[in-house]
Structure 1
């Protein structure tokens, strides 16, 4: 086993400041809380604890605290804007004049006012949805026996073959608790057959109606790319050089224009369409 311990450089710049006392750990929005320290302080801040997932920390937050200093007694002003400091627990740090932070103290910013009611409603809503889901999955029905409790029971008209209303589901007896295919009993004397409750299976999850296409064969030949596909005449020079496919209007001496832009002794890779190889030695503009 190999363990690496990281110590940040600022911890070697001198002693760490200390928070000697703090006026409570519950900090309401828009209030000023006093702390006492053991020496001069440069700044103070609240830092949200980590909540790391998938290599990111979505809970990361730094809340600066304006200070009112009276000797070693410091008043820290917490913002009144919950968007800057959402409710929850924070670590309170003070930083000394040498740039070294203190050991943190835990501070809680509680939910107050209308936000408390919204949070309570949100929690109750989540709990209500969860309870409804548990009931829907686990509820065996008003008159089902314990043996038949695991049998699914459709509850509305969205299940094919069942009419709306609680009377549409036929009672399930212990002998019928074992899985069975959907079937309907024979019709009575002149009456329609009653549907039997059975698991509903979506039919869209079946095999598609068309066969998948076979993979195309890998190309075996070369593919022609126009030499001016990017506006450059790649008949000249290397891959990193761009001789204009069309020179600016009024250009009378192309080699002089190229020399003025840093192009000299360009190798003719293919066709000399610009007539720049005047001596025919395979090098453009070398004379």
Structure 2
């Protein structure tokens, strides 16, 4: 009969700081004391554990991903070995957390089907990204705040990637005489070619019929080109007279900062782009 597994026996995998490990392995190649080999061997001897570490780690590689260490042994010993390793190679020492506003209506779009989008961002940047749990069961107060935790470089990269995952929605009012049919072959062709969703809202008492084009931030050129072609198709020579609108979600507490002193930031953007920018009335 097979001997029963020791209930005290366990193994644990955890990440360590890549830069710190590189420095340690470099020291070993230069034959200095307490390089990688020495350090892990001493921890193994002192704690009676087995440790697997990436001894062939490529020094100075482009990858920012923190590598894994694996420790096997008795539960208590593994904990002691991990504490000893982390006291020297802990990734958390320069860990930062960034909170960013992403409109709660776009959270599921950013997270992606089965969480695929956000898992990919976490893997590529080595960060942990958290969306507010309260939105699932709280109908009244939805939170826009998304937090990203990790190394400073990774956190900034994750922020950029999340921004790129946001949808870009452009809308425009159509002159009364124009017919709009989202299922027309031309509209369908533009949608498929530029990977856009096109929809039309019927006129109301206050507004004329509205066209809405939805694409993604990481594909801005396609959204612009597709929208221009759509307007040409719908309005012909009037296309250049139709104004296009988009909305950004910016937390009210950041409005003053965004506007700049005496609205200087907004004036600068308006001069450069010719776009009109309206902030909601603070009252």
Q: The TM-score by the shorter chain falls in which range?
A: under 0.3
TM-score by length of 2: 0.17
- Pair member with larger Rg: 1
> Greater share of helix residues, 1 or 2?
2
Q: Which has the higher contact order (CA 8 A, sep 6+)?
A: 2
